[in-house]
Chains A and B, each alone.
Chain A
Amino acid sequence: MSVTVYVPADATALSLGAQPVADAIAAEAGKRGLQIRLVRNGSRGLFWLEPLVEVATAAGRHAYGPVAAADVPGLFEAGFLEGRAHPLHLGLTEEIPALKSQQRLTFARVGVVNPGSVEDYVAHQGYVGLRRALAMAPAEIVAAVTQSGLRGRGGAAFPTGIKWQTVLDQPPQQKYVACNADEGDSGTFADRLLMEGDPLALIEGMTIAGLAVGATQGFIYLRVEYPHAHRALNRAIQAAREAGYLGSNVLGSGRSFDLEVRLGAGAYICGEETSMLESLEGRRGEVRVRPPLPAVKGLFGRPTIVNNVISLASVPTILQHGAAFYRDFGSGKSRGTIPLQLAGNVKRGGLFERAFGLTLRELLYDYGGGTASGRPIRAVQVGGPLGAYMPESQFDTAIDYEALSDIGALLGHGGVVVFDDTVDMAGMARYAMEFCAKESCGKCTPCRIGSTRGVELLDRVMANVERERNLQLVEELCETMLHGSLCGLGGMTPYPVQSALKHFKEDFLAGPRPSSAVAQ
């Protein structure tokens, strides 16, 4: 009987050398005349252990990592195909503390299944939610999502069920489900990990959304920087179609739903939902004025559900186990789980799915193990480029929407970027303005002009030119951008700037450090 060996084909694993490892395992097995079945799974998200090789045994899957191609002959020699000891042996995968302590609902199958296989997906409880949904009335599906307490995981945290209800309430006509997979926030990769590791969960979630509101066509707006996810999604859509889970007669129900992936073209602003709709329609990604809401008049002028990848991929779990099951995770008004992404200067970076309520400190130290550089953590940015910088004194904040918002921060898409004490926070504040200037769609003045003026003002502050007066102007500019911008790009760029000023003022008074002096 052949042994099954798993080597991730996830982009991060590949970026750390997973392909040569897979090749070496196949070659070594051939040389030794051993029959193995090599499965290219997604990543478990424990990136300090990638490339993480797993071997299926009677006792469960054994993990070895991080494996380099040169380690492969030694692994065979030690008997890794039977789960034997080796310096890289991590024991049973499910028992690795950083994995075992998680509450994986949305990511339950990521790293476990073969991402291209409907058969494997179904064998791991896939499509149970869709079968339930097919037996329910649209209003019942929407009610389940509403009662689960699920809120938009893209960053805005708007209740998903309410959005769906609005689309359901529109008169019958062509309606759409548009998935926002334009994961542009630095420090986030949850969407990518899911699309590469368990794309059928997203496809199932979108199909359920279609059934819930009477939409027959879905679009996944995927950023062009994710070529691996693009291939994984297209493969999975094709497989789902062939198996009868997508198309004009979903599982013989007579209901129709199909999907298409459309690529973005490197514009951060297209993660904003109305800008994404413009882009999907083939235009410049300029923000639309609301109302009308996309739920009323969205893609091609039709009622459209716009949800993030993780929101949609959480729906099958809710339908499968019921709204109460999902709602019972979490704290306060933040229900369910959140895939937290730990990135930047961190020793053990990766994705950790937990119920809301974990503290930032637990995430940074218990999971992250501090910085990669071994120096003290000075600041973390939570929620992407538009999120606030937080100092050590705020690390005991619970990770939920309200607790973060209470201290002027935001959870966003759940990315946490760690900086050690070599960071120049004035440089990071300047970068926030610079990024906004680069990525502004140009439609509203506070964002288009304000961001450029912000860069200039911060340059003057750092060069000690009329510092007090210019700091005052930065504050005023931030207020104008906050209140006068059309969307979150201009409206939230002040968060990193103001928080850096509030918590790390000394950096603005010292002049630029050499490390930030590199001209762009």
Chain B
Amino acid sequence: MKAAISSSAPQTLSRADREQVDLALAQYRDQPGPLLQVLHAVQERLGHIPDASIPVVAEFLNLSRAEVHGVVTFYHHFRRRPPGRHVVQLCQAEACRAMHCESLTAHVKRRLGIDFHETTADGRFTLEPVYCLGNCACSPAVMIDGELHGRVTPEGFDDLLAQQEAGK
């Protein structure tokens, strides 16, 4: 387990962020069992789920902070730190392994100079493993900012990266 819930809770939400969290809460207030949807909405609005938003969400939904923290940390998709401008997900599951995604992974890590769950120093790319993108007949599969790519070679990845950089 990572560090326990930030009992010291030093940070508070900025006014703008607090507004976004309130909007996320308002959006799902009348739904049954809304916590996952609220967290999705917070992450969509802020790019991540700040620790300081946890007590706000907990109080509004009448849950304990531990419950909300438990849900945030259970699911791989929820992030507690802001990601880079582009999120690169490399599939690591069996079908992609059958097409040697390990070599593509090694190339990408070298190319970006980071490991999984890290962000490049310039804040441009965050690298994450993913376990199946459902593109298993066109492995290895890569997703960049929600866009799916198939049969990605190391050279193909470099092209995709160049496109992203050109777009910025």
Contact = CB atoms under 8 A, between A and B. Distances in A.
Nearest to A191: B134
B134 A189 contact: yes
A431 B97 contact: yes
Given A285-B74, A516-B102, A189 B97 contact: no
Contact of B94 (A186, A267, A279, A280): A186
A71 B135 CA distance: 24
Contacts of B116: 520
A507 interface: no
A431 B98 CA distance: 12
A423 B141 CA distance: 18
B148 interface: yes
Contact of A344 (B32, B71, B139): B139
Contact of A439 (B33, B95, B131, B148): B131
B33 A184 contact: no
A248 B119 CA distance: 48
A366 interface: no
Contacts of A300: 32-33
A228 B148 contact: yes
Contacts of A185: 132
Nearest to A438: B131
Contacts of A284: 70-71, 74
B167 interface: no
Nearest to B28: A282
Contacts of A446: none
Contacts of B94: 186-187, 344, 381, 385, 417, 428, 431
Contacts of A435: 93, 131
Contacts of A423: 98
Interface residues of A, number: 62
A280 B98 contact: no
A214 B133 CA distance: 35
A415 B105 CA distance: 24
Contact of A226 (B99, B134, B151): B134
B103 A515 contact: yes
A39 interface: no
Given A280-B33, A282-B36, A342 B98 contact: no
A441 B76 CA distance: 12
Given A187-B94, A263-B36, A515-B100, A225 B76 contact: no
Interface string A393-424: 00000000000000000000001011110110
Contacts of B92: 520
A303 to B, nearest CB: 16
Contacts of B131: 184, 186, 268, 435, 438-439
Interface centre among A15, A228, A285 (most CB of B within 10 A): A15
A217 B35 CA distance: 19
Category for how many chain B residues contact A: 35 or more
Contact of A282 (B71, B95, B147): B71
Given A11-B134, A15-B148, A189-B137, A345 B71 contact: no
B33 A341 contact: no
A435 B78 CA distance: 19
A520 B128 CA distance: 12
Contacts of B141: 15
Contacts of B129: 520
A108 B98 CA distance: 30
Given A267-B76, A344-B139, A282 B40 contact: no
A142 interface: no
A11 B136 CA distance: 11
Contacts of B34: 282
Nearest to A50: B138
Contacts of A285: 74-75
B36 A342 contact: no
Interface in B142-168: 143, 146-151
B102 A417 contact: no
B64 to A, nearest CB: 12
B39 interface: yes
A245 interface: no
Contacts of A12: 135, 137-138, 148, 150
A228 B147 CA distance: 9
A364 B146 CA distance: 31
B26 interface: no
B35 A47 contact: no
Contacts of B132: 183-186, 188, 225
A187 B141 CA distance: 12
B148 A186 contact: no
A34 interface: no
A343 B150 contact: no
Interface in B20-73: 32-37, 39-40, 67, 70-71
Given A12-B150, A283-B35, A284-B70, A266 B138 contact: no
Contact of B102 (A225, A226, A518): A518
B96 interface: yes
Contacts of B105: 518
A417 B132 CA distance: 12
A8 to B, nearest CB: 13
10 contacts: A12-B137, A189-B135, A192-B134, A264-B77, A266-B77, A267-B74, A282-B36, A284-B74, A344-B99, A435-B131
Given A183-B132, A262-B36, 14 more contacts: A12-B148, A15-B148, A187-B93, A188-B136, A189-B134, A225-B130, A266-B75, A300-B32, A344-B95, A344-B97, A349-B137, A350-B137, A431-B97, A518-B102
Interface of B: 32-37, 39-40, 67, 70-71, 74-78, 92-100, 102-103, 105-106, 116, 129-139, 141, 143, 146-151
Q: Please name the 5 residue pairs, one residue from A and one from B, whose CB atoms are nearest each other, closest first.
A: A349-B137, A344-B98, A282-B35, A186-B93, A343-B136
